[in-house]
Amino acid sequence: MAEEGDSLLSAELTEKKEVNYETPCCFCLSPPTQTSLFATLAIVSAALPNSMFVAFLAKAGTELGTSQTAIGSTYAIHMVGCVLGIGIFMLLPVERTFMWLTKIVLPVSAAANITLGFLGQYFINTKQANLFLVTVFVCRLFIGISNGLIEAIAQVMAMRGVDKESMTSAVGRTELGRIAAFGIGPIIGGTLYQYGGFYLPCCFSGALFIGMCVWGCALVQPYVHRDYATTTTTLGSAAKMEAAAAAGAGAGAGAAASYGCCKSNNGCTTLLKIPAIAAVYASSLLGIAQTGYFEATLQLYLAEAPYSLSPMLFGVLNGTMFLVAGVLALLIFVPLLEKWLGAPMTIVSGFLLISLGATIMGLPTLSSHAISRHLPLFVVGYGLLGIGMAQAIIVAPSLTKRILEAHGHTATSPALVSATATLYCFANNFGWGIGALVGAIITEAKGFEVTALVSAMVCIIVAPVLTLFLLPCAVGDLRNKEKQEKD
């Protein structure tokens, strides 16, 4: 029986399936380039509708007398949807995940956005605040599920087959797409709201989801299906590997375990059992939360005197700041700091930069001088906060690979790559949602400037604690650097 299992497994592991990689399935691009393009555009598609709400949702809510805490809750419900989406990704095979995404979640999200646009406009006109909030909650929940699925799939495709030296670049490309969406989204959302009312940006988001659905069904799903079919053919299907293991083939069980189930949470458990990795993703969560603090309240703050920005001008300002800060961080600050200081100290320096930027944003509380409320000074502070946030989260996957290898794990195994991407997406979405809710509560109770100072204080506390966890990794990076220089 054991020999039968061995022969069955051997046949599966050596089986090859001919795939014509010379003929790309769309866009006349090679599969690796197509994978990178899909990952980046998927992040853009997921982030753009959500970033559009930043420019007008708070204003629309406050016109109905809705509290800032309630507005912040709409961002938190988006986080709940993201967690559900990531959970679906972890539990289902990738082909079925795409089926859920393209045939169920995206069409429902498109319908929810369009429905929100017309119902929301009606409730605003008739001054029905409670029904408006309920409609927003439902729509944001479905958008969150879509975002969780899309981001998890995109990050896995970006990280798969990338060595630890290239991990930051791979994640950086997807984050550049996110930053582009965060830059363009408020401009589009603010402009459409100012000239078309509440329903127009919502209908635009609905049309975008319909386009994503068509694109996924026609172009992306066949490529992903082919790619994963090749993988499972090369490594042996899960069912046959289980049969081999059941037949008593110890080698079969070992191979099945090494391949792992990319959608199980075993990889996440493996990662989080290592304190340094747990600290890395806790830092990512806290880093993105500092930006989330201001998502629900920034537009209202800048609409007041002496700034008095309209939704369109706020969208232009916010979008420009995201683009400039993101490009500077991804193309200059993060690569240079990671090269000179290593990934651990890049994260720590990011929190220090967030603290500096948040302190500048909270200056009106510390000083009554007129310069403390000048818009250029606020832009500088918010820009520094954005650069620091990027430093705090971008290098997390590459640092995870290094820590895993230092602990004797195979960091490129599908299960651990999937777990790395899942934790990265979860930390970003959970931190952003919690940050928006907490920031809205503090702002409503104490004011926007106090919220900024709280953010600065949190980062000052986190930086030295994080250093204690990541210092061994930083020392290892410096030793490796010195060794390479000597060689």
In a domain, 248, yes or no: no
* Per-residue model confidence (pLDDT) at position 124: 92
In a domain, 462, yes or no: yes
In a domain, 250, yes or no: no
pLDDT band at 459 (very low <50, low <70, confident <90, very high): very high
* Per-residue model confidence (pLDDT) at position 358: 94
Phi then psi for 179, rounded to 5 degrees? -65, -40
Looking at per-residue pLDDT, the higher value among 344 and 410 belongs to 344
Helix (H, G, I), strand (E, B) or coil at 83: helix
* Per-residue model confidence (pLDDT) at position 29: 57
Mean pLDDT for the stretch of residues 72-87: 85
Residue 369, pLDDT > 60, answer yes
pLDDT band at 476 (very low <50, low <70, confident <90, very high): low
Token pair belonging to 482: 């010195």
pLDDT band at 201 (very low <50, low <70, confident <90, very high): very high
* Per-residue model confidence (pLDDT) at position 257: 34
Mean pLDDT for the stretch of residues 156-162: 66
CATH of the domain at 415: 1.20.1250.20
Q: Please name the amino acid found at residue 249.
A: A
Phi then psi for 95, rounded to 5 degrees? -65, -40
pLDDT band at 140 (very low <50, low <70, confident <90, very high): confident
Residue 253, pLDDT > 60, answer no
Angle subtended at Cα 48 by Cα 63 and Cα 434, rounded to the nearest 5 degrees: 65
Q: Please name the amino acid found at residue 241.
A: M
Element (H, E) at 395: none
Element (H, E) at 362: none
Can the peptide bond before residue 306 be classed as cis, meaning omega within 30 degrees of 0? yes
DSSP state of 440: H
pLDDT band at 431 (very low <50, low <70, confident <90, very high): confident
Q: How many angstroms separate the CA atoms of 415 and 335, rounded? A: 27
pLDDT band at 3 (very low <50, low <70, confident <90, very high): very low
In a domain, 18, yes or no: no
Looking at per-residue pLDDT, the higher value among 172 and 46 belongs to 46
Highest mean pLDDT among 108-117, 149-158, 225-234: 108-117
pLDDT band at 272 (very low <50, low <70, confident <90, very high): confident
* Per-residue model confidence (pLDDT) at position 118: 92
Q: What is the separation, in whole angstroms, between the first and last Cα of the chain? A: 52
- Name which of 52, 198, 78 is nearest 138 in CA terms: 78
Could you give the residue ranges of the DSSP H alpha helices within 160-310? Answer: 164-196, 199-215, 221-235, 238-246, 250-259, 266-272, 275-292, 298-303
* Per-residue model confidence (pLDDT) at position 21: 37
Listed in sequence order, the residues at least 6 apart from 436 whose beta carbon sits closer than 8 Å to its beta carbon are: 72, 75, 76, 79, 292, 293, 295, 296
Helix (H, G, I), strand (E, B) or coil at 183: helix
Mean pLDDT for the stretch of residues 263-282: 78
Residue 413, pLDDT > 80, answer no
Tokens 């090749």, located at residue:
230
Mean pLDDT for the stretch of residues 265-271: 73
Enclosing domain of residue 312:
30-228+261-486
CB 81 within 8 A of CB 143: yes
Token pair belonging to 305: 């005197």
* Per-residue model confidence (pLDDT) at position 482: 55
Percent of the chain surpassing pLDDT 70: 75
Mean pLDDT for the stretch of residues 224-247: 41
Torsion of Cα atoms, 324 then 329 then 332 then 335, to 10° = -160
* Per-residue model confidence (pLDDT) at position 117: 92
In a domain, 41, yes or no: yes
Using one digit for the tens of pLDDT, what is the confidence trace for 274-326? 888 888 898 889 988 988 888 888 888 998 888 888 888 888 888 888 788 88
In a domain, 89, yes or no: yes
CB 49 within 8 A of CB 143: yes
Q: How many angstroms separate the CA atoms of 264 and 476, rounded? A: 31
CB 393 within 8 A of CB 423: no
Q: Please, what is the average pLDDT of the chain?
A: 76
Q: How many angstroms separate the CA atoms of 308 and 320, rounded? A: 18
* Per-residue model confidence (pLDDT) at position 160: 65
- Report how many helices (DSSP H) and strands (DSSP E) the chain contains, helices first: 23, 0
Element (H, E) at 151: helix 129-159
Q: How many angstroms separate the CA atoms of 230 and 233, rounded? A: 5
Total domains present in the chain: 1
pLDDT band at 415 (very low <50, low <70, confident <90, very high): confident
Phi then psi for 362, rounded to 5 degrees? -95, 10
- The CA-atom distances, in angstroms, between 18 and each of 22, 32, 226, 229, 240 are 12, 17, 11, 11, 20
CB 92 within 8 A of CB 100: yes
* Per-residue model confidence (pLDDT) at position 361: 92
pLDDT band at 225 (very low <50, low <70, confident <90, very high): low
In a domain, 406, yes or no: yes
Percent of the chain surpassing pLDDT 90: 15
Mean pLDDT for the stretch of residues 424-447: 87
Could you give the residue ranges of the DSSP H alpha helices within 294-412? Answer: 298-303, 311-328, 334-340, 343-361, 363-366, 375-394, 396-406
Residue 474, pLDDT > 70, answer no
Q: How many angstroms separate the CA atoms of 294 and 18, rounded? A: 52
Q: CB 367: neighbour CB atoms within 10 A? A: 11
- Name which of 147, 57, 155, 152 is nearest 109 in CA terms: 147
* Per-residue model confidence (pLDDT) at position 336: 86
Torsion of Cα atoms, 278 then 441 then 57 then 53, to 10° = -10
CB 171 within 8 A of CB 424: yes
* Per-residue model confidence (pLDDT) at position 411: 64
Token pair belonging to 167: 């991990």
pLDDT band at 126 (very low <50, low <70, confident <90, very high): very high
Residue 238, pLDDT > 50, answer no
In a domain, 252, yes or no: no
Helix (H, G, I), strand (E, B) or coil at 16: coil
Residue 485, pLDDT > 50, answer yes
pLDDT band at 18 (very low <50, low <70, confident <90, very high): very low
Q: Which has the minimum average pLDDT: 60-69, 118-127, 256-265, 384-393?
A: 256-265
pLDDT band at 240 (very low <50, low <70, confident <90, very high): very low
